[in-house]
């Protein structure tokens, strides 16, 4: 197993993906335990002017409540929050989210890097960053910052990624540190809820 990492003091789980990530989220998000003591924040690249159906899709499937972020929303543990299309999603402090219309990063807004970098700056070693399938390098720089602050880097296996460019870039960014696998992360989160 990758590590060692201490899951007992973690506060936030940040997940980013693009092309091919929905299939992984279909398995990952419903598997999160109902007693999860972390805030879960998700960025998926979506067309900027479309309405996101992700909260309504995942709400019935997940054991945690699911919603879309709004500016100045409270960050709550045990809740899954999706970035809205057309806005960067950041954490301002340990209490609130912020939405931004700053320029796209890697042609994307919301950007995984923007979320991950803010998570790293606010939460340091109390954060997990997860990079899933996608066709750009978004997320690599942000995951590197999370790892550099002592957080837990998790990268989807390149062999299971429908579009491997994003996880490949993330692995290269955090080398030589080995990322944790999705299965390892879920096992640690299950164990964490059992001990609290």
Active site residue 121: no
The DSSP letter of residue 67 is E
Task: Name the band, by pLDDT with cuts 50, 70 and 90, for residue 194.
Answer: confident
Q: Pick the catalytic residue from 21, 45, 111, 136.
A: 45
Is 106 among the residues known to form the active site?
no
Q: What secondary structure letter does DSSP report for 156?
A: -
Nearest to 166 by CA among 194, 145, 141: 141
CA proximity to 69, closest of 45, 30, 103, 98: 98
Taking the model in full, what pTM does it have?
A: 0.95
DSSP 74-140: BP-TT-EEEPPTTSEEEE-SSSBEEEE-PPPBTTBSS-HHHHHHHHHHHHGGGEEEEE---SS-TTH
In the set 6, 9, 18, 136, the catalytic residue is: 18
Q: CATH homologous superfamily for 12-195?
A: Methylesterase CheB, C-terminal domain (3.40.50.180)
What pLDDT is recorded for position 94? 86
Instruction: Convert the pLDDT of each residue in 49-61 to its tens digit.
Output: 777 789 999 999 9
Is the pLDDT at 180 greater than 60? The verdict is yes
Catalytic residue among 56, 70, 138, 148: 138
User: Quick check: is 49 catalytic?
Assistant: no
Q: What is the pLDDT of residues 113-134, one digit of tens each?
A: 999 999 999 999 999 999 999 9
180 φ, ψ (degrees, to nearest 5): -75, 150
């Amino acid at each position: 197993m990758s590590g060692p990492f201490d899951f007992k003091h973690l506060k936030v789980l940040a997940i980013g993906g693009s092309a091919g990530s929905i299939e992984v989220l279909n398995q990952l998000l419903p598997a999160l335990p109902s007693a999860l003591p972390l805030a879960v924040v998700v960025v998926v690249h979506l067309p900027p002017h479309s309405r996101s159906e992700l909260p309504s899709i995942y709400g019935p499937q997940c054991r945690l409540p699911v919603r879309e972020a709004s500016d100045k929303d409270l960050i709550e543990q045990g809740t899954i929050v999706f970035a809205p299309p057309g806005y960067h999603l950041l954490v301002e402090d340990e209490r609130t989210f912020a939405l931004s219309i700053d320029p796209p990063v890697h042609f994307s807004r919301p950007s995984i890097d923007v979320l991950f970098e803010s998570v790293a700056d606010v939460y340091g070693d109390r954060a997990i960053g997860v990079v899933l399938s996608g066709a750009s390098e978004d997320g690599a720089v942000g995951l590197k910052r999370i790892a550099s602050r002592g957080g837990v880097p998790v990268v989807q296996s390149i062999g299971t990624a429908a579009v491997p460019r994003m996880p490949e870039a993330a692995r290269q960014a955090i080398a030589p540190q080995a990322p944790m696998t999705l299965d390892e992360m879920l096992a640690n989160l299950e164990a964490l809820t059992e001990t609290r």
